[in-house]
């Protein structure tokens, strides 16, 4: 009987994790399609010029989208802490669908002039608002829905689906490259992936409406719920907020460097063909996806801190050599292997960052606490990584970017070294223990 109950509980957890994760996948697919297809649509939205200048313009709008993420995390985090994780996740996917559809339907610069880049900016602001709310709420939901002793494993699926979104974007890019000519891709083919994203978001909208709400949110007391999701309540946890900033800084710069900028680096600096680079990125990210739950399971056994420290040390020491070797070798196999080394290092951060942050905050402030300081840090450092790299390249100083990435990781390493083991001081587990103690006391009282 108990085995049957445990099996049903596991199936329920797995089902909810899937519904939350697949929505996360579509959100990030929509976000990454912009970057993956920038080499094709940049000339359509901006006046004629050299390719680097046009990419610099699209990278600037990519960064502008990140600026909206803190606002999204503030608004959606408050909404999630007050009205539930399911309601916030449903709203975020709706906004993302709208942003993708706008980009897909917007005419080019030759048709509507300056309105084209303006509408592109507005669409990216919508997507930034959506994604800002998605991260904190999704991390919170997956962490709360997971079972004790497996939170690292289950929460790792946030980055599984995050990277899978980018992987699907690359897969769509590879398929379109095979069936469409270069001229077709640049004139209208780039619009297809945005239409796919909008349609996928609508399908996920239905799935998310059928998710269970987090039990920890449902059991939150009325007193805590009255103060839930406020900046005032968040400021009662200054150490946790600063820890999230320190955790995120190096991780987000490294992640966007290896998963977003590296594609353009291989084309513009290394000199590889676009199609070859697409395959390198696709295979490398596929392996990267598989690594996430393995590292998450490892963190459930040995703790979160050892993985973070490994990322901090290796990322600081090896980032500059990896880029310098790739720049000189100009070989696709070497480029793939070096990219894999970088992604393996970054896994020490990506696989567990969601659960580490969730463990730092109580239920009534968890979605806002995880999302807001993260989004601020990503907006300043992650969202500008590609722009900084392209700007340094445009002035002939691209190698300085390698040292910039290594320095950001070094700053985060200091945070990892000074922080405690989050799984041992987890608010999630502490609240469950307190709840069980109350039930035990209540049960003894009724029995007596």
Q: What integer is the mean pLDDT of 411-416?
A: 94
Residue 5 has pLDDT above 80, yes or no: no
Domain membership flag for residue 130 = yes
Q: What are the helix (H) ranges across 351-422?
A: 353-358, 366-377, 383-394, 399-418
Tokens of 149: 């002793």
Confidence of residue 365 (pLDDT cuts 50, 70, 90): confident
> Could you give the C-alpha distances from 142 to 16, 146, 298, 410, 414, in angstroms and in order?
8, 6, 17, 29, 27
Per-position b or e across 40-50, b if 16+ CB within 10 A of its CB: bbbbbbbeeee
Tokens of 110: 């030759």
Handedness of CA 85, 90, 91, 97 (dihedral sign): positive
Q: Which of 254-268, 333-347, 425-439 has the highest mean pLDDT?
A: 333-347
Domain membership flag for residue 303 = yes
Domain that holds residue 39: 14-209+238-443
Domain membership flag for residue 7 = no
Domain membership flag for residue 350 = yes
Residue 42 has pLDDT above 90, yes or no: no
Q: Give the closest residue to 56 by CA, choosing from 380, 323, 386, 397.
A: 386
Cα 210–chain centre separation? 23
What does the pLDDT read at residue 291?
Answer: 95
pTM: 0.81
Domain membership flag for residue 386 = yes
What does the pLDDT read at residue 152?
Answer: 85
Q: What is the DSSP letter of 187?
A: I
What does the pLDDT read at residue 439?
Answer: 45
> What is the tally of structural domains in the chain?
1
Confidence of residue 402 (pLDDT cuts 50, 70, 90): very high
Residue 441 has pLDDT above 50, yes or no: no
Domain membership flag for residue 342 = yes
Domain membership flag for residue 357 = yes
Residue 116 has pLDDT above 50, yes or no: yes
What does the pLDDT read at residue 187?
Answer: 83
Domain membership flag for residue 230 = no
Residue 351 has pLDDT above 70, yes or no: yes
Residue 222 has pLDDT above 50, yes or no: yes
Handedness of CA 185, 186, 187, 190 (dihedral sign): positive
Tokens of 27: 């959100």
Residue 358 has pLDDT above 90, yes or no: no
What does the pLDDT read at residue 322?
Answer: 93
What does the pLDDT read at residue 3?
Answer: 57
Cα(90)–Cα(253) distance, integer angstroms: 28
What does the pLDDT read at residue 99?
Answer: 87
In the chain, what are the helix, strand and coil shares in percent, each to the nearest 5?
85, 0, 15
What does the pLDDT read at residue 67?
Answer: 77
Domain containing residue 142: CATH number = 1.20.1250.20
What does the pLDDT read at residue 7?
Answer: 62
What does the pLDDT read at residue 28?
Answer: 82
Q: What integer is the mean pLDDT of 258-286?
A: 86
């Amino acid at each position: 009987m108990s085995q049957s109950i445990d099996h049903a509980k596991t199936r329920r957890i797995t089902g909810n994790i899937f519904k939350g994760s697949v929505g996360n996948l579509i959100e990030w697919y929509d976000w990454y399609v912009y970057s993956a297809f920038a080499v094709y649509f940049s000339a359509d939205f901006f006046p004629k010029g050299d390719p680097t200048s046009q990419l610099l313009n699209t990278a600037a709008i990519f960064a502008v989208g990140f600026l909206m993420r803190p606002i999204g995390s503030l608004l959606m985090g408050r909404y999630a802490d007050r009205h539930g994780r399911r309601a916030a996740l449903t709203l975020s996917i709706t906004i993302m669908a709208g942003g993708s559809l706008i980009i897909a339907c917007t005419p080019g610069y030759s048709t509507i002039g300056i309105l084209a880049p303006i509408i592109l900016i507005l669409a990216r602001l919508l997507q930034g608002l959506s994604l800002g709310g998605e991260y904190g709420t999704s991390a919170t939901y997956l962490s709360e829905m997971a079972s004790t002793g497996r939170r690292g494993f289950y929460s790792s699926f946030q980055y599984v689906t995050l990277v899978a979104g980018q992987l699907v974007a690359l897969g769509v890019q590879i398929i379109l490259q095979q069936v469409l000519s270069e001229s077709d891709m640049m004139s209208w083919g780039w619009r297809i992936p945005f239409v796919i994203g909008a349609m996928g978001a609508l399908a996920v909208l239905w799935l998310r409406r059928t998710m269970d709400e987090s039990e920890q949110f449902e059991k939150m007391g009325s007193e805590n719920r009255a103060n839930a999701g406020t900046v005032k309540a968040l400021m009662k946890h200054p150490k946790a907020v600063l820890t999230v900033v320190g955790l995120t800084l190096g991780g987000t710069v490294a992640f966007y460097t290896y998963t977003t900028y590296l594609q353009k680096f291989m084309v513009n600096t290394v000199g590889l063909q676009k199609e070859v680079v697409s395959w390198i990125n696709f295979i490398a990210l596929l392996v990267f996806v598989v690594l996430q739950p393995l590292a998450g399971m490892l963190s459930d056994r040995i703790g979160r801190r050892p993985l973070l420290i490994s990322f901090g040390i290796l990322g600081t020491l090896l980032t500059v050599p990896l880029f310098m070797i790739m720049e000189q070798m100009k070989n696709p196999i070497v480029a793939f292997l070096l990219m894999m080394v970088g992604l393996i290092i970054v896994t020490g951060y990506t696989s567990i960052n969601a659960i580490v942050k969730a463990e730092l905050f109580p239920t009534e402030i968890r979605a806002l606490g995880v999302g807001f300081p993260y989004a601020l840090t990503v907006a300043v450092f992650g969202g500008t990584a590609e722009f900084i790299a392209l700007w340094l390249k445009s002035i002939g100083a691209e190698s300085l970017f390698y040292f910039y990435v290594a320095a950001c990781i070094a700053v985060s390493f200091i945070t990892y070294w000074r922080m405690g083991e989050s799984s041992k001081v987890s608010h999630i587990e502490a609240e469950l223990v307190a709840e069980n103690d109350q039930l035990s006391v209540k049960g003894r009282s009724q029995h007596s």
